[in-house]
Amino acid sequence: MDEVLDEAGEHAKTLHVLLHGLWLGQGLDQGAERLLALSTRPPFDTGKDPIVLFRVAGALRRLGRYDEGLAAIDRALDLLPPGDIAVHADLVRERSLVDAARDLHSHTQTIGGIPT
């Protein structure tokens, strides 16, 4: 990945492929952190790409940063062009996952770490 990053520069499509791989790689060591770092590089540093924000929300969920994840996915939903129904469904699904993870985490903290 580092070799590709060195060659990619600001090539958005290449960087999107790397983000996708990190997003899919749930078990990668430091994968969520690397995804977040990559999401702040140009051309993504404007925070206006809904797909990047979608992937950021997933990384934040994996790191237990639920409120930040919800903010990222809500921003992605705001930026999504009208009529993109398939992507909208993916964003809504991620929002549900972040919300459920936050609720589960909160629930386990409330009752001493033992889910009921």
- In a domain, residue 115? The reply is no
Residue 98 lies in a domain: yes
Question: Does any domain span residue 62?
Answer: yes
**In a domain? residue 116:** no
> Would the pTM count as exceeding 0.85?
yes
Domains held by the chain: number = 1
| pLDDT tens for each residue of 48-103 | 999 999 999 999 999 999 999 999 999 999 999 888 899 999 999 999 999 999 99
Q: How confident is the model at residue 19 (pLDDT cuts 50, 70, 90)?
A: very high
Distance CA 113, CA 7 (A): 46
> What is the pLDDT at residue 71?
97
**Is residue 103 in a domain?**
yes
Provide mean pLDDT across the span 33-44.
94
Q: What is the dihedral of CA 30, 86, 15, 46, to 10 degrees?
A: -90
Q: What is the pLDDT of residue 36?
A: 96
- Residue 9 falls inside a structural domain: yes
Q: CA–CA separation, 69 vs 61, rounded Å? A: 6
pLDDT beyond 90 at 28: no
Here the CATH number for the domain that contains residue 18 is: 1.25.40
Q: Which residue range is the domain that position 77 belongs to?
A: 2-110
- Domain-embedded: residue 8: yes
For residue 109, pLDDT over 80 is answered with: no
Do the domain assignments include residue 46?
yes
pLDDT at position 98: 96
